[in-house]
């Protein structure tokens, strides 16, 4: 292929960091670049609120650096639900619909998050169905795992 020399063979550090996120693990380098173009990086300081419980969800968040705390609204100490760190993600249900957020999320440390907007995901379904289906498959696996864990907890 004449143009093969022009193609980007090496994965940039950003793309390597994105590949660590389970939702993007199946994507090729070209597909990751397309997704990377759609992501927004945001820095949050320790204790800053990412979103509130009951707020309309518009985006999923990927933790690139630092930790976040998922808790009941306004109860970071006695209402803590989970603490997530780099490589994990939250707010995933917002990719599917605009239902209210189920909990509040605050930065547990200074952290960097990548934000993936639902409209961009829906756009991918139209323009790059292959990418969207790979992400959807990983998302389904993730939600299934969470459901099994919840059922197991309830049964035990």
Partner 1 sequence: MATSRSSPGPVTWCGIIAVTCVLLFLFQKILWLVVPFLLALVLYYLLAPLARRLVLAGFSNDFVAVALSGAFLLGLGGWLLLLYPWALANAEGWHATLMRYLAGGYSLIDGVLTGMEHKFTFAGNAHLAETVRARFTAMQEHFAEEYLGAAVVALGAWLPSLLLIPVITYFLLKEGANFRKFLGEAIPNAYFEKTLYLTYAIDRTARAYFLGLVKLTLLDAGLLSSGFALIGLSSPLMLGCVAAVLGQIPYVGPLLGCVVAILVTGTDFPGQVGLAYGVLGLFVTVRLLDDFVFLPAIVGKSLRLHPLMSLLMLLVGGAIAGIAGLMLVLPIMGVVLLLGETLEMILKDPRLRARHAFAVALRKRAAEVDLTAAG
Cβ 34 to partner 1, closest distance in Å?
A: 6
Query: First and final CA of the chain: distance in angstroms?
Result: 58
Residue 56 as a binder of partner 1 (CB under 8 A): the answer is yes
Mask for 6-35, x = binds partner 1 (CB under 8 A): xxx--------------------xxx-xx-
Q: What is the total count of residues that contact partner 1 (CB under 8 A)?
A: 36
- Least distance in angstroms from the C-beta of 6 to partner 1: 5
Q: Which stretch binds partner 1 (CB under 8 A): 5-13, 14-22, 62-70, 138-146?
A: 5-13
Q: Which of 98, 102, 129, 143 lies at the binding interface for partner 1 (CB under 8 A)?
A: 98
Nearer to partner 1, 5 or 156 (CB): 5
Please classify residue 78 by burial: count the beta carbons closer than 10 Å to its beta carbon, then call 0-12 exposed, 13-18 middle and 19+ buried.
Answer: exposed
- Minimum CB distance to partner 1, residue 139 (Å): 18
- Do 49 and 111 touch, CB atoms closer than 8 A? no
Sequence-ordered list of residues with C-beta below 8 angstroms from that of 152, at least 6 positions apart, any chain: none
Which residue matches tokens 């320790």?
46
16, 25, 48, 102: residue in contact with partner 1 (rule CB under 8 A)? 48
Residue 74's H or E segment, with its range, is: none
- What letter does residue 5 receive in the DSSP assignment? G
């Amino acid at each position: 292929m004449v143009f093969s020399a022009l193609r980007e063979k090496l994965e940039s550090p950003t793309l390597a960091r994105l590949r660590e996120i389970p939702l993007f693990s199946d994507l090729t380098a070209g597909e990751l670049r397309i997704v990377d173009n759609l992501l927004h990086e945001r820095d949050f300081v320790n204790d800053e609120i990412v979103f509130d419980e009951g707020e309309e969800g518009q985006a999923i968040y990927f933790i690139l650096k630092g930790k976040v705390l998922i808790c009941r609204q306004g109860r970071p100490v006695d209402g803590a639900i989970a603490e997530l760190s780099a490589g994990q993600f939250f707010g995933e249900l917002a990719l599917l619909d605009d239902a209210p957020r189920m909990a509040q999320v605050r930065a547990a440390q200074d952290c960097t998050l990548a934000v993936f907007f639902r409209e961009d995901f829906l756009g991918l379904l139209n323009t790059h169905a292959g990418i969207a289906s790979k992400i959807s498959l990983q998302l389904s696996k993730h939600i299934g795992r969470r459901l099994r864990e919840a059922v197991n907890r309830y049964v035990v």
